[in-house]
Amino acid sequence: MECSSDGAEGDAGQLQGAELTGNGALDVVTTSTLLPGATVLAGVLGLLIGSFLNVVIWRVPRGESIVAPPSACPRCGSRIAARDNVPVVSWLLLRRRCRACHEPISARYPLVELSSGALFALTTWHFGASAATPAFLYLVAIALALTLIDLDVHRLPNSIVLPAYPAGAALLAAASWEAGSWTALGRAAIGGAALFVAYLLMMIGSAAVLGATGMGFGDVKLAGVVGMYLAWLGWGELAVGAFAAFLLGGFFSIGLLMTRRADRKSGVPFGPWMLAGAFVGVAWGGPLWASYLSLLG
């Protein structure tokens, strides 16, 4: 898959698959042989990370530590034994019930784990043997946590969003160093700042015109992270990802209005759609942008 939509942005494209090795056909064969195994391992890692994300999603909005105390049943408070904490498998073996109190365990827990595993595997397959892979696996992890937290409490916690700036910048810098080009990193800084400012202006503008803001400052802070990642891949990915967020969010809001599940005064979390748009930009932003430019002649 292509990482970039423009010729000038080809340095990001160097970060995928066998092109990283630079040692000819033998490396191409080795990379293509190892990629399926690496994808499976990434999926397993994703399952484990998903189990941890369940802790993050539950505790962070409540201001609780994600380190201690150990995981416990939210109903009876019984500590969850290691054998009952194996992603997905334990939920099935326990027949979806707590071992101690026999109360039902929400299906959301294994779904988070499965989603994390699937997204980790797809991300690894997409980027291949590249230093970009850890950077985007980190994005996947925080995106999954932020999406569910925003849906639950309509908030994007600073404790997750703000560390993503230095962490994301460091991981993307490592990927740029591996590629031997710093153009993508400079573009990431510009793109992150640009999307941050754009969302800030939209927040201020909506407050001035409507008397109430249609988005929170959490969305503005998240925009900087999204812009940084998408612009690192290319300007086309940034444009497509930013537009897709409003397109997907708009369709969802219209659906809620048509089914009378919300009215014009209802608050609809936008963070999940920003992140969904980001994944559209990562996966298809380059080809979509190239197609759009070709239509313009």
Render pLDDT for 221-237 as a digit per residue (tens, 0 to 9).
Answer: 999 999 999 999 999 99
Q: What residues are paired with 97 via a beta bridge?
A: 104
Both tokens of residue 57?
């999603």
For helices 164-179 and 183-210, give the axis angle rounded to 10 degrees. 150
User: Considering just the CA atoms, what is the radius of gyration of the chain in Å?
Assistant: 21
Give the whole-angstrom CA distance, residue 288 versus residue 249. Answer: 19
Q: What is the DSSP string of 195-251?
A: HHHHHHHHHHHHHHHHSS-SS-HHHHHHHHHHHHHHHHH-HHHHHHHHHHHHHHHHH
pLDDT band at 31 (very low <50, low <70, confident <90, very high): low
Contact assessment for residue 273 and residue 248, using Cβ atoms and an 8 Å cutoff? yes
Structure tokens at 7: 């010729």
What's the pLDDT tens digit per position in 97-130? 999 999 999 999 999 999 999 999 999 999 988 8
At residue 6 the predicted structure's pLDDT band, cuts being 50, 70 and 90, is very low
Q: Which helix (H) or strand (E) holds 293?
A: helix 271-295
Which is higher by pLDDT, 265 or 54? 54
| 257 close to 264: Cβ distance less than 8 angstroms | yes
Instruction: Give the Cα-Cα-Cα angle 271, 158, 285 (nearest 5 degrees).
Output: 35
Q: Are 246 and 277 in contact (CB under 8 A)?
A: yes
% of residues, the chain, pLDDT over 70: 86
Predicted pLDDT of residue 207: 76
Q: Which residues contact 279 (CB under 8 A, 6 or more apart)?
A: 143, 241
Q: First CA to last CA across the chain, in angstroms?
A: 24
Q: Which residue has the tokens 């365990």?
A: 105
- CA angle, 219 as apex, 150 and 42 as ends, to 5°? 60
Judge if the upstream peptide bond of residue 69 is cis by omega within 30 degrees of 0.
Answer: yes
pLDDT score at 7? 41
SS3 at position 161: helix
- 63-83 mean pLDDT: 89
CA distances from 53 to 104, 116, 172, 274 (A): 20, 9, 22, 19
Question: Average of pLDDT values for 52-63?
Answer: 95
Phi first, then psi: give them for residue 35, nearest 5 degrees: -60, -45
**Is residue 209 classed exposed, middle or buried when 0-12, 13-18 and 19+ CB atoms within 10 A define those classes?**
exposed
Report the distance separating Cα 284 and Cα 24, nearest Å.
Answer: 28
Q: Count Cβ atoms below 10 Å from residue 189 Cβ, excluding itself.
A: 15
Q: Which two tokens stand for residue 229?
A: 């990642």
